[in-house]
Amino acid sequence: MRRGYLALLPICAVLLLHGCAGPRTTDGGDGPPRAGAGRIGAQPVPRQEPLSRYGNHSPYTVLGKTYHVLPASTGYSRRGNASWYGRKFHGRKTSSGEPYDMYQFTAAHRELPLPSYVEVVNLRNNKRVIVRVNDRGPFHDERIIDLSYAAAKALDMLEAGTAPVQVTALTSPDGRSNAQASASQNPALGFRPWLQVGAWKDRDRAREIHLLLRRNGLTSMVSKFESAREVFWRVRSGPYQDHRSQQQAIHRIQGLGLGSPMPMNLP
């Protein structure tokens, strides 16, 4: 009845480096639960969580197109079309390694860090839900988020299959995104502390900031980032050995008049 997306199992071992974000294909076997359906869970409450060990590799490539994972969900707000996936994928691994549970309020997204929390509003009827993003997809330009059966049901979009939506990132009660919380906790997940000093459309300006950091004894790198058909140049400082050295660098960067850099963990 609708499109689904399945991470191709033969290449899943390789794609685990990319969050097992293989393309999901359609064979007409997806849909709502059959008779004897399970009980739909409660909507999640945004909370601090470490970044998933899988699914946050950036960049990653699917169907010949390269995607970049955002360093944090903070400030994310987009409008576009939502789709949903159901029983065909129930119990199978998501890109984060967690099993997909069609009765929980979850979603797949191409760019947001895993996990993230977002509010999704159906612009046709103004119904809204909160979902936890723990999967990658949908890998079609005309759709920005793929919702679980539970979320799609709450938004009253099961029959239509798709709906125009507003997707807005949510933070934990202390105001931090999961990426920021993960960096401060510094879990032993193979990540090292970095700082994102900023992102500029002007490559020369980014280069100036990079050199300023280097002149003041701070390691730095400039990388290209594409989002919503725009190109930015990110300046990052690191990696740091531990949370204490990262915090010391934050104070030094603030002292240079560059504002407060964003803590993050990178491989």
Mind listing the pLDDT tens digit of every residue in the chain (267 residues)?
Answer: 333 333 333 333 333 333 333 333 333 567 777 666 678 889 998 888 888 888 988 888 998 899 988 878 878 889 999 999 988 888 899 999 999 999 999 999 999 999 999 999 999 999 999 999 999 999 988 899 999 999 999 999 999 999 999 999 887 655 555 655 554 444 444 457 788 888 888 999 999 999 999 999 999 999 887 765 678 888 989 888 777 888 889 899 989 998 878 776 665
Helix H or strand E segment including 255? helix 243-255
State the pLDDT at residue 166: 94
Q: Which domains does the chain have, with CATH numbers?
A: 9-24+40-170 (2.40.40.10), 191-266 (3.30.70.1070)
Q: How many residues does the chain have?
A: 267
Round to whole Å and give the CA distance between 23 and 129.
26
Which value, in Å, is the radius of gyration of the alpha carbons in the chain? Answer: 19
Provide the whole-model pTM: 0.60
Of 207, 101, 91, nearest in space to 148 by CA: 101
Cα(116)–Cα(118) distance, rounded to whole angstroms?
7
Q: Is 15 helix (H, G, I), strand (E, B) or coil?
A: helix
